[in-house]
Amino acid sequence: MAAKRKRAALAVGKAKRARSAPSAGEAVPEGGPRERSIPPQEHSIPPQEYSIPPPVSQGKWKNKERVLIFSSRGINFRTRHLMQDLRTLMPHSKADTKMDRKDQLFVINEVCEMKNCNKCIFFEAKKKQDLYMWLSNTPQGPSAKFLVQNVHTLAELKMTGNCLRGSRPLLSFDPIFDQEPHYALLKELFIQIFSTPQYHPKSQPFVDHVFTFTITDERIWFRNYQIIEEDASLVEIGPRFVLNLIKIFQGSFGGPTLFENPHYQSPNMHRRLLRLSVAAKFREKQQVKEVQKTKKKGTKVLVKEDPTEVVFETPAEEKPVEIQLVKPESKPIVKDKKKLRKIQRKKQKKVFRSEG
C-alpha cells in the first residue's frame, strides 16, 4: 500500500509540473497562469531564441536484424578478444554466456529466440587449439561452418586506422562471390549479418569504414579498413582473420548438406601429415646410417694387380754403397751458443798448432 501511495504522489507531482509549464503550441486554459506584464523599457532588447536541433536520423528503424555473438567453453584469450571486437564493430549485436560443450548445437536456436535474435555467430573451440565459426540464420537456416585461421585482434595489431564507434560499414566483396552459387549464398549471409541496419538506435548515421571479403587460396579473407576523407585512401583498422569453408547446411546448425568444400583439410589431418613427414625424414637418416655401417663391416675385395701399371715407372739411378769404417765424432750438446763458439775456437787453435 505504501508503494502504491508513493507512485500516486509521483504521478500527481508530474501532472502539476506539466500544467505549470505548458508547451509553446498548447493554449493556456482559462484561470491558468497569466502572462507577466513586460515594462516598455524591456521591449528594446531583442529576445534570445533557443532552438533545439532535430535528431540526426529521423527515419524509422524497419530492418530489425539482431545478431547473437557468443562462444562455447574452452576458448583462448585471442578468440575472446576477437569476439569482443566483433561486438564493438556491430552495434546490432547481442552477447550471451558461454555454452557448455556437452550441449547440442540445435539448442542455440532456442537461445536466439530467447534473446530475440534472428542471426547468430557462434565460436566453437575444440582441443583448445582449433577454432570453428558458425554463421546461421535462425531458426530456418541456412548455416555455414568455417575453420578460423590467422586471427589477429585490434589490440594485437595496433593499426593506425580508427573509425567512429557504432558507424555503419560498407561491405566489399570479391567478384568471385557472384560466379559460384555457394559463394553467392555466403555473400547474402554476410550481408545480413555484418551490415548494420539503417536507423538502428545504437548506430551512428556515418559511413567511415569498410569490411572487405576477399577469396584467395580457396579461403575468405576478412579485413576492416578506415576510409580517409582527404584522398579516399584506406587504412587498416583490424581485426583480421581467414575463414576456411567446411560445409553449408540447409537448416540452422544442422540439416542436409548443401555444399562441402573438397579443398578442406582438417587440422587433425594437417598435424598428422606433419608428423608423418618428420618421421619419414628420421627414417631416411637411419637407413643412410645403416647402409654406411654395412659398407664398413663388409669384406674388402682384393683387386688383382694390373700389369700395365709398370709401364710408366722409371727406375732410379743406382748409387754406390759407401761403408763408413771410422766412427763419427760425437758433437757436444750445448745449449748456450757462446760456449759452443768457444769450443769451436779451441779446436781450431789446436789444429793450427799441430800444423805449425
CA 341 from chain centre, in angstroms, equals 87
Amino acid at 117: C
Q: In this structure, are residues 121 and 130 in contact, taking their beta carbons and an 8 Å threshold? A: no
d(CA 355, CA 145) in angstroms, rounded, equals: 120
In this prediction, residue 28 carries a pLDDT of: 42
Q: What is the mean pLDDT of each run of 10 residues along the chain (356 residues)?
A: 49 48 45 46 54 63 91 93 94 93 90 94 93 94 95 89 90 95 96 92 89 95 90 89 96 94 94 95 94 81 77 81 81 70 85 77
Domain range annotation of the chain: 67-157+175-199+239-269
Nearest to 144 by CA among 165, 114, 119: 119
Give me 303's grid cell: 683387386
Q: What are the start-end ranges of the H helices in the chain?
A: 2-20, 77-89, 107-114, 154-157, 181-194, 267-297, 337-355
**Which single residue is written with the C-alpha cell 562462444?**
71
Beta bridge partner(s), residue 99: 72
d(CA 113, CA 68) in angstroms, rounded, equals: 10
Collapsing DSSP to helix, strand or coil, 5 comes out as helix
In this prediction, residue 299 carries a pLDDT of: 67
In this structure, which CATH number among 3.30.1490, 3.60.21, 1.20.120, 3.40.50 belongs to the domain 67-157+175-199+239-269?
3.40.50
Q: In this structure, are residues 118 and 135 in contact, taking their beta carbons and an 8 Å threshold? A: no
d(CA 298, CA 291) in angstroms, rounded, equals: 11
In this prediction, residue 15 carries a pLDDT of: 46
In this prediction, residue 38 carries a pLDDT of: 46
What does residue 234 show for φ and ψ, rounded to 5 degrees?
Answer: -110, 135
**Three-state DSSP string of 210-237:** EEEEEEECCEEEEEEEEECCCCCCEEEC
Nearest to 73 by CA among 99, 94, 96: 99
In this prediction, residue 356 carries a pLDDT of: 65
CA 86 from chain centre, in angstroms, equals 13
In this prediction, residue 59 carries a pLDDT of: 76
